[in-house]
Amino acid sequence: MAPRRPSEESRARGPATPCHPLPPAAVHRLSQYLRCFKQLEAQGVRSVSSLQLARSFHLSAAQIRKDLSLLGELGTRGVGYDVSVLVRSLSETLGVDTEHRLLLVGVGNLGSALALSPVFQRPPFRIVALFDRDPAKVGRVVAGVPIEPMTALARSVAEKQIRLGIVTVPSRAAPSVCRLLAAAGIRGILNFAPVVIPPPSGCVIRTVDLGLQLEELTYLLLHAPSS
Amino acid sequence: MAPRRPSEESRARGPATPCHPLPPAAVHRLSQYLRCFKQLEAQGVRSVSSLQLARSFHLSAAQIRKDLSLLGELGTRGVGYDVSVLVRSLSETLGVDTEHRLLLVGVGNLGSALALSPVFQRPPFRIVALFDRDPAKVGRVVAGVPIEPMTALARSVAEKQIRLGIVTVPSRAAPSVCRLLAAAGIRGILNFAPVVIPPPSGCVIRTVDLGLQLEELTYLLLHAPSS
DNA sequence: TCATGTGAAGCAGTTCACAGCG
DNA sequence: CGCTGTGAACTGCTTCACATGA
Per-residue pLDDT tens over the stretch B20-67: 589 999 999 999 999 999 999 999 999 999 999 999 889 999 999 999
Does the distance separating the beta carbons of B214 and A125 come in below 8 Å?
A: yes
- Written as one letter, the residue type at A59 is L
Q: Is the CB of A122 under 7 A from strand C?
A: no
**What value does the mean pLDDT of chain A take?**
90
Strand B145-148: give its sheet, edge to edge. Answer: B141-142, B145-148, B125-131, B100-105, B164-167, B188-191, B204-207
Does the distance separating the beta carbons of A196 and B36 come in below 8 Å?
A: yes
Grade residue B120 by pLDDT with cuts at 50, 70 and 90: very high
pTM (2 decimals)? 0.91
The answer to whether A116 touches A143, Cβ cutoff 8 Å, is yes
Neighbour-count burial for B172-206, b at 16+ CB within 10 Å, e otherwise: ebbbebbebbbebebbbbbbbbbbbbeebeebbbe
Cα–Cα distances in Å, from B168 out to A218, B130, B192, B195? 19, 11, 5, 12
Rg of the Cα trace of chain A?
21
Does the distance separating the beta carbons of A212 and B31 come in below 8 Å?
A: yes
Does the distance separating the beta carbons of B113 and A110 come in below 8 Å?
A: yes
Does the distance separating the beta carbons of B57 and A119 come in below 8 Å?
A: no
Mutate which of A96, A104, A163, A216 to test chain B, going by most B C-beta atoms within 10 A?
A216
Nucleotide nearest to B25 (CA to C1'): C13
| Å between CA of A125 and C1' of D2 | 52
Instruction: Say whether residue A208 is in contact with chain B using an 8 A CB cutoff.
Output: yes
Per-residue pLDDT tens over the stretch B60-99: 999 999 999 999 999 999 999 999 999 999 999 999 999 9
Grade residue A13 by pLDDT with cuts at 50, 70 and 90: very low
Q: Is the CB of B83 under 7 A from strand D?
A: no
Would you say residue A187 has pLDDT above 50?
Answer: yes
CB contacts of B188 in chain A (<8 Å) are 217-218, 220-221
CB contacts of A222 in chain B (<8 Å) are 17, 94-95
Task: Write the residue in A211, A221, A225 that is nearest to B163 by C-beta.
Answer: A221
What pLDDT is recorded for position A225? 62
| CB-contacted nucleotides of strand D (7 Å) | 1-7, 12-17, 20-22
How far is the C-alpha of B46 from the C-alpha of B52, rounded, in Å?
13
CB contacts of A219 in chain B (<8 Å) are 22, 27, 31, 93-95
The answer to whether B121 touches A170, Cβ cutoff 8 Å, is no
| Å between CA of B163 and C1' of C3 | 43
Instruction: Say whether residue A119 is in contact with chain B using an 8 A CB cutoff.
Output: yes
| Å between CA of B66 and C1' of D10 | 16
Distance from CA of B94 to the nearest CA of A (A): 5
| CB-contacted nucleotides of strand C (7 Å) | 1-7, 12-17, 20-22
What pLDDT is recorded for position A30? 97
Would you say residue A57 has pLDDT above 90?
Answer: no
